[in-house]
Structures are given as C-alpha cells and as structure tokens.
Amino acid sequence: MSSTKPLLVVLGATGNQGGSVVAHFLSLSSSPYALRAVTRDPSSAKAIALASQGVEVVAGDFDDPNSLDAAFRGASVIFSMTDFAQSMMNQSLLEKAATSAVSPGLYIRDYEAQQNRNIIDAASKVRTLERFIYSSLPYADRLSEGKYARVYYYDSKASAEEYGKSTYPELWEKTSIFYAGFYLENYIWGTKDLYFCPKWNKGKDSLIAWGMEPLTTFNWPWYSVVQDTGPLVAALIRAAPGKKLIGVNEWLSMKDISKLIAQILGKDIEFVDSGPNFNQGDPDFQRSRREMVGFSMEFGYYGDKVDTTVLKPSELGVSVQLSPVKEWIEKQDWEKVLPAE
C-alpha cells in the first residue's frame, strides 16, 4: 500500500547507524515518515526483517550511481553513510590496492570518497528532497594543515563533503552533517583490544587494563551507535539545515569506562601504563589509527579546537533524549564480553 507520508530513505539501514535511524522511526507511535531501506541484498535476513516491519526495502549500491538514482526517487529526506571498515577488510579491494601506486589506506580512502561523491551526485538530482543528512567526520588533513594526512576514514568522508558543498550549493542549503562519536559498542564487538578494554585477571578474580597515557585519560565523545544514532539524527532533521552535529552522549575517558565496568561487576581493577595495541593488520592502517589519536588530542576528536561550527546535542536548539552511558554499561553482560588476560 503506498503511503502519503513524506519518504525517508536510509542508506546502511541493515547496519548500525542506518539501522538505528530506521529503528527510531519505527518505534514512534506515529512516524512522520514512510521508510525506505537501501541495501545491496534485499534477500538478506536483516533486509527481510526490515520489510516485515513495514519498511520498503530496495536494492542499491554505493558503487552503482544508477541504483542510487532509483533508490532516492521521491525522497523527502535521505540519511547517508558509507563504511570504511568493510572496505578495509575487502580482499578484492586490497588486491587492487596492492597493484596501485598508493598505500592500501590511501586506496580505500579514495574508494570511499568516490562512493560518497556518487551518493551526493544522486542526492543532488532529487527534486522532492527537503533534507540531506550526511554522516561525515572532520577533515583531519585540512584542519591540521597536512600534519595528520593519513586519517583515512575521516578524510574519505570529509573530502566528499567539501565536494558536495562546492559542487551543489543548492543541495548544501538542505544539508545537515552528522559526525558519529566513538561507538560504546567498540567495547563489546571485535575491536575491543584497541580501546583499552579491561581483561579478566582470572587468578586474582579482578580486572586488568593496559593503556598509554594520555590516550586513556583523554575524554572521548562516546555514544551507543545502536541506541543513540536514531534520536540524534531525528533531532538533526527537526533542526534547521546547515548544522553539523557531533553524535555524543557523554565525554568520558577510557579509564572512566573501565572503572564503571569494574564497579558494576564489583571487582577491583589494576591499570598498567603501556603502549596501546593498534593492530589493524597492515602497518599503513596502524599508522592511520595513531594519526587519528594524535589528531584528536591536538585538534579535538571532531576538530573542535579549530572548527567551532560543530554543535553538541545540547547546542542544537532541539531536544534530544538519550539514556545515560552508565545505563548502557549496566545492560551489557561483561562476564561474557571481557576477554581473559
């Protein structure tokens, strides 16, 4: 049955950011939007689950501009995202990178930037469009004047953002930018070794956490990508266009989070000062991770020491209700999640 409601088209709807946007609007007693999810595979279990909840599911691929034109047809709002991490683990892309003149990280950066330009080109053609929400990150290379030129997963999004702004001024008048904060879920998904995640010190029935100062005492912008992206993006849609929002729930250090986990488990925790593990396979990606940390410490996670245009949720002028980070931490099964030393 066709809906008379304006249409919200969500990229990455089977993933974390886009999935949270869809879940938020589905959770409302009366969603202001009809929802369309874009996926490469409408027959996947996640896509079928969305369709069973009344979401229109269509095929679309960031690498295929024609498919994006079709997926965006009739949209009032588009939520756009791209995924650096999947590309970074894609063997066929890494093989192409190996035969190219540039490093794997640069290759994937440029690949993701092209995907974003494809999305922006397609969005610029949608006559019905009222709002384009672009999930970006700060332009580390530009903001640091070349000092941090290898924060690949930031610049892949930011360079395309610059492209959109200069190529399509009309589209940019209807655009709002979302910078995702650090996912709390990094603690419970595969990257936990990277984030000062505590480990079980089984012999002592206590926790132990390694980390290097000041990485572990620096306040990062944490948010739950699953719970919080939807409410934050919904608020950004309600606010006037032209705003940039940092998706943050609370600013906490990794030490703060480890202490909260220990407190919830009722265990002691020992902190050991040592080098962080940036093991991302290729040394080029490890260096990129180190540069991201360096950029964040010197210029702010979202470049806020030099770019004062990025707003915190409390500065958006539209109310956003997020559950406290402590509640998110309390809900996780840390007994199972934390690895043994």
Ligand X SMILES: NC(=O)c1ccc[n+]([C@@H]2O[C@H](COP(=O)([O-])OP(=O)(O)OC[C@H]3O[C@@H](n4cnc5c(N)ncnc54)[C@H](OP(=O)(O)O)[C@@H]3O)[C@@H](O)[C@H]2O)c1
Residues that bind ligand X (CB under 6 A): 12-18, 39-41, 44, 60-63, 81-86, 153, 180, 182-183, 186, 225
Compute φ and ψ for 284, nearest 5 degrees: -60, -40
Type of residue numbered 37: A
Burial class (CB in 10 A: 0-12, 13-18, 19+), 121: middle
User: Least CB distance from residue 41 to ligand X, whole Å?
Assistant: 6
Judged by CB, which is closer to ligand X: 16, or 253? 16
CB nearer to ligand X: pick between 83 and 291:
83
Closest CB to ligand X among residues 149, 194: 194
The single-letter DSSP state of residue 8 is E
Of 34 and 57, the one with the shorter C-beta distance to ligand X is: 57
DSSP alpha helix (H) spans, 300-333: 325-331
| Closest separation in Å from C-beta 247 to ligand X | 8
List 78's β-bridge partners, or say none: 9, 132
To ligand X, the closest distance from the beta carbon of 149 in angstroms equals: 17
Cβ nearer to ligand X, comparing 201 with 332: 332
Cβ 66 vs Cβ 46: under 8 Å: no
State the minimum distance, in angstroms, from the CB of residue 4 to ligand X: 27
Nearest residue to 135 via CA among 31, 242, 214, 247:
247
Q: Which residue is nearest to ligand X (CB)?
A: 15
Strand-by-strand arrangement of the 182-183 sheet? 182-183, 220-223, 250-252
Q: What minimum distance in Å lies between the beta carbon of 180 and ligand X?
A: 4
Show the CA angle centred on residue 292, arms to residues 284 and 196, nearest 5°: 95
